[in-house]
């Protein structure tokens, strides 16, 4: 059981939060970023919701690779070719490939 679960979202500043269009059904489970469809807005909403749910047990980080890719991200991409946006949970690559509340919560629960 972990004390703190670290969630890192990796993508591009101007990228979409999902390969699917943002719609009125909000299948991603987030409300505050609706209509935007942008990664940064979705990250901010995800952070807000997860902090309300988990408090200090979850830390979130957004890594934008527009101006350079950190070495550890390059290694992950070369090794696993994950979908973007990339969702890392405590350093572990997931195959989520989008900002979606239920799937990220499931990954958090596995760590807690």
The rounded distance, in Å, linking the Cα atoms of 61 and 50 is: 12
- Region 14-43 average pLDDT: 84
Structure tokens at 7: 């969630």
Element (H, E) at 88: strand 86-89
Which whole number is the average pLDDT over 15-42?
Answer: 83
Alpha-carbon gap, residue 3 to 80, rounded angstroms: 27
Number of domains present in the structure of the chain: 1
Which tens digits make up the pLDDT trace of 46-95? 999 999 999 999 999 999 999 899 999 999 999 999 988 999 999 999 98
CATH number, domain at 97? 3.40.30.30
- Domain interval for residue 33: 5-111
């Amino acid at each position: 059981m972990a004390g703190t679960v670290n969630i890192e979202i990796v993508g591009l500043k101007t990228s979409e939060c999902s390969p699917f269009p943002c719609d009125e059904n909000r299948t991603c489970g987030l409300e505050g970023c609706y209509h935007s469809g942008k990664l940064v807005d979705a990250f901010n909403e995800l952070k807000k919701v997860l902090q309300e749910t988990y408090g200090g047990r979850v830390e979130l980080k957004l890594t934008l690779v527009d101006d350079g890719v950190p070495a550890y991200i390059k290694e992950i991409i070369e090794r696993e070719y994950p979908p973007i946006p990339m969702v890392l949970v405590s350093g572990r690559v997931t195959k989520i490939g989008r900002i979606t509340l239920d799937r990220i919560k499931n990954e958090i629960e596995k760590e807690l």
